[in-house]
Structure 1
């Protein structure tokens, strides 16, 4: 009827993007991954304006070249990503900082303001080999929280970026219990959370509840869904994360859980600007598979109001 507005609320604080992950990219260089030029072409053609850097070295690391490649496609960078093992204490700081500083510098040069921090895996995501105990000792928890605070401080001071720690399957920051323990033990001024809806569901968590309970700590979102039937089998068989992805545990929205509309509505209600970056883990995948999914997912998110 003329003059009527859509019943979908405008979630005007949410900025949507996608990432190399949604094109099956997990590594800087892998013959089973699409070339970076194709990723940039297709992510723009699918209707996204924001991207993450993905694995360092996949996209050009020269800031001038990357700025030109993104600019001419109408793309902007929301964040870089680093991998850390900070529960191992001060002994790994120098090694960690060497990894972080290159990525933080590129992230800053691209005009982004966030650095996604992923904890190290206790189980190898390719081979399934157990690398260390899945439960941290009290001392390891103290090292994890104190060293993450240190990272947050240094990244802010030197590069003007805010770290957002990403709870992830097969890491020590995974379940509701461990995520809330981590948040309760870290300084909100130094450490925020990248809530990945798929990983949190994979580990049994409720994203809406976390946003409602720890809203002031949510600094960034990854939008992802899990297939409940595949997840049930993966959990029952104790399948590592990498092979679980190969089985299709992460699925195209809106086919899985959690429902993304309530998550986005809860995020909007926080009253702050948030990135919501689509990540559908699909490594490895046929090169022609990601683009149609990306187009459909962008259309679905528009129907949710973003």
Structure 2
């Protein structure tokens, strides 16, 4: 879950332990405020587990002009930490080296309850859209100019950048030299798009990728309910990779065709109350991905 105020979140050290135990080489810093913004402490914790950090995250209201100062403060604090943490080597063909700053819009009830429903989700007015674009550009410029960090816009279920028309509009309004995309297979499917085609469509902007899978039976049920996105996650709409509807052999082929050489982060959205099964789930996802060639 991305709500750092949730009292049931596991300790961040446990997340690091389980990422290492499941066979992953690295992970993200997580939502702002979850992992301490103390680079020495976190760097030691990573080194002790032979892990690296690939990205930090802004998961907040990108629309409101009044939130602009808060967004830039988060950008400053996150980038100051992630650039001091262990990093993987840059590989040939990887356009931008880690760490990335993943930028997601969040915090709007009207869109949260309309996640997955392009036909009924309200769109931003032109002035509000322009305000969101200005905030994204300001975040990306600060991250780039002060820290050398590449920002990637992450379309997210329940935010104002979710559906095909919004992704296309952002691709036009935020220049490629300023920010790329982090395409998430699970969020793409949730928004009614084909994850494989979405990866191909934005190949020239694809700097980072998130993997999830979707339980089609739960997905069809929650689409018929008035439900927040993370409430749907608590009901198991996002399942371990390999159990769900997304065709990962086809995803692998698509990434090979477009020559993607960046990093992929596997995510498992779940209710923190069921954290006891998290290690088994993320290991199952990793084992499945290995079995299909990743």
Same fold (TM over 0.5): yes
Superposed, which structure 2 residues align to 1:4-153 within 5 Å? Answer: 25-28=1-4, 30-89=6-65, 91-110=66-85, 111=87, 112-123=98-109, 134-153=122-141
The 4+ residue runs of structure 1 with deviation greater than 6 A are: none
RCO (CA 8 Å, sep 6+): is it higher in 1 or 2? 1
How far apart in 1 are the matches of 2:165 and 2:31? 28
Report the more deviating stretch, 134-143 or 165-174.
134-143
Residues 110 and 122, structure 2, Cα contact 8 Å, conserved in 1: no
Superposed, which structure 2 residues align to 1:285-296 within 5 Å? Answer: 285-296=273-284
How far apart in 2 are the matches of 1:140 and 1:117? 17
RMSD of the alignment, in Å? Answer: 2.2
Residues 26 and 283, structure 1, Cα contact 8 Å, conserved in 2: no
Question: Relative to structure 1, is the Cα distance of residues 87 and 298 closer, same or farther in structure 2, using a 3 angstrom cutoff?
Answer: same
Number of the residue aligned with 2:162: 174
How far apart in 2 are the matches of 1:179 and 1:108? 28
Mark the runs of 5 or more structure 1 residues left unpaired by the alignment: 1-24
How far apart in 2 are the matches of 1:190 and 1:267? 23
Residues 125 and 243, structure 1, Cα contact 8 Å, conserved in 2: no
Instruction: Compute the displacement of 1:218 (Å).
Output: 1.2
Residues 167 and 199, structure 1, Cα contact 8 Å, conserved in 2: yes
How far apart in 2 are the matches of 1:129 and 1:305? 36
Mark the runs of 5 or more structure 2 residues left unpaired by the alignment: 88-97, 116-120
1:185 and 2:161 aligned: no
How far apart in 2 are the matches of 1:240 and 1:77? 29
What do the CA deviations read for 1:146-200 (whole angstroms, capped 9, x no partner)?
3312321221001111111111111111111211121122201112111111111
2:251 to 263, 271, 287: 263
User: What TM-score do you get using the length of structure 1 for normalisation?
Assistant: 0.84
Report the more deviating stretch, 134-143 or 55-64.
55-64
Instruction: Compute the displacement of 1:280 (Å).
Output: 1.2
How far apart in 2 are the matches of 1:122 and 1:27? 14
Residues 115 and 162, structure 1, Cα contact 8 Å, conserved in 2: yes
Residues 75 and 142, structure 2, Cα contact 8 Å, conserved in 1: no
Instruction: Compute the displacement of 1:129 (Å).
Output: 11
How far apart in 2 are the matches of 1:54 and 1:253? 20
